[in-house]
Structures are given as C-alpha cells and as structure tokens.
Structure 1
Amino acid sequence: MDMQQMMRQAQKMQKQLADAQDRLADIEVSASAGGGMVKVIGTADMQITSITIDPDALDPEDIEIIQDTIVAAVNECLSSAQEAANQQLGAVTGGMNIPGLF
C-alpha cells in the first residue's frame, strides 16, 4: 500500500466518521426510573430532549426522592446515549480506539 492510497483511505474514514457523528443526533435513547415515574429521552449526541414526571410522583414532603429519581433516569439515559454512540462510531472505525473520539 502506497502513501497516497493510505491518505485516501484516511480521508474516506474521516468523512465516514463525520457522517456517523452527524447521525448521532437522530438516534433516540430513553430511560426511566422510580418504576416509570420519571422518563427521560435523549439522543446519542448526549442531548437530553425530554423529561416526563408522573404527577403522582410529586409529593412536596418527598422532594428528595423525586430529585434522586430524576438524576438516576438522566444518568441511565446518558449511559445509553454513550453506548449508542460507541456502536455507531465503532462501526466506522472497525473497533479501533481513536483518542478523543470515544
């Protein structure tokens, strides 16, 4: 393999990675906590797009419980987003670990 061919392959991979990163915003992930009382929806580009709280969960006496439940649901959603991003970008890189990408 000559240097010019390697450069073309690197440019092709760079374009594929950019395209894959652009698609991350279209991959929706979700999570719930507290038996479904808090639901969080996000995207694989690590953006939370929606949080839904069941009105029955809103007890002014137990505000700490709902706060903890929200944190748990958001963290689970972000974890799912990271996993989806790793799968999407890993498909392009063939499993190579590229520093700063994952």
Structure 2
Amino acid sequence: MRGGNQMSQLMKQAQKMQEDLAAAQEEVALMKAEATAGGGMVRLVMGAGHQVETLEINPDVVDPQDLEMLQDLLTAAFNDAASQLDQMTQERMAEVAGGGLGLPGF
C-alpha cells in the first residue's frame, strides 16, 4: 500500500503546483513596470503583454530640431520597462517552479 500513498502524495503535489501556477499567472497579468529616461523627462508605465498604459513627455524635451533625442529617450524607457516586466515575470514563475514535485531531476 506504500506505493499508493506515494502516488496520492504526488498527485496532491501536482494539483497544488497547478493551483500555484494559475495564481502566479493571474499575478503576472496584473504586473506593471514604470520606467523613466532623461532624468524623468520621459515616464512610461507598462502593463502585462508589454502594453504601454501611460506615456508622459515633459514638453521641455520636445525639440523639433532634435527628434532623435526624444526617440532615444522613448526607446530607453520602453526597453527598461519591458526588461523590468520580463524580470518580474521570470522571478514569479521561478518561485512556483521552485516548489517542484520533489522528484530528482525536476
């Protein structure tokens, strides 16, 4: 009967892991990252799926003669926010995966 008990425990662990994964996915869907560039001249808030939710540009940074600088600031803010979201997602999912099933090699 010992083998049946181990299988039951394994099934319970697998079910808990599925529940934890579902909860983590819900948390990830609500995550937001904020990034600034140019000393706060550009501020961006990004949500799940890398959707830009807020973009603020200080009027002082808008120079029609130097649009390249504004483009660089926007790119930097976008990339920073995307990187933050990716890192937060990886960390949260690693927490769930770290629980594992107690099996060697998994």
State the TM-score, normalizing by the size of structure 2. Answer: 0.77
| % identity of equivalent residues | 41
* Cross-structure match for 2:69: 65
Structure 2 vs 1, CA of residues 49 and 75 (structure 1 numbering), >3 Å: closer, same or farther? same
* Cross-structure match for 1:18: 22
1:5-50 Cα distance to aligned partner (Å, 9 max, x none): 2222112111211111111232321111112111111235533211
Pick one of 40, 43, 47 that aligns with 1:43. Answer: 47
Q: Is the 8 Å Cα contact of residues 24 and 45 (structure 1) preserved in structure 2?
A: no
Q: Is the 8 Å Cα contact of residues 30 and 47 (structure 2) preserved in structure 1?
A: yes
Gaps of 5+ in 1: 97-102
Runs of 4 or more off by more than 4 Å in structure 1? none
- 1:16 and 1:63 map into 2 onto residues whose CA distance is 46
- 1:85 and 1:59 map into 2 onto residues whose CA distance is 36
* Cross-structure match for 1:78: 82
| Structure whose alpha-carbon radius of gyration is higher | 2
Higher helix share: 2
Gaps of 5+ in 2: 101-106
State the TM-score, normalizing by the size of structure 1. Answer: 0.79
Q: Is the 8 Å Cα contact of residues 29 and 41 (structure 1) preserved in structure 2?
A: yes
- 1:16 and 1:95 map into 2 onto residues whose CA distance is 9
Q: Is the 8 Å Cα contact of residues 17 and 99 (structure 2) preserved in structure 1?
A: no
- 2:37 and 2:16 map into 1 onto residues whose CA distance is 41
* Cross-structure match for 1:4: 8
CA RMSD across the alignment: 2.0
SS in 2 for 1:2: helix
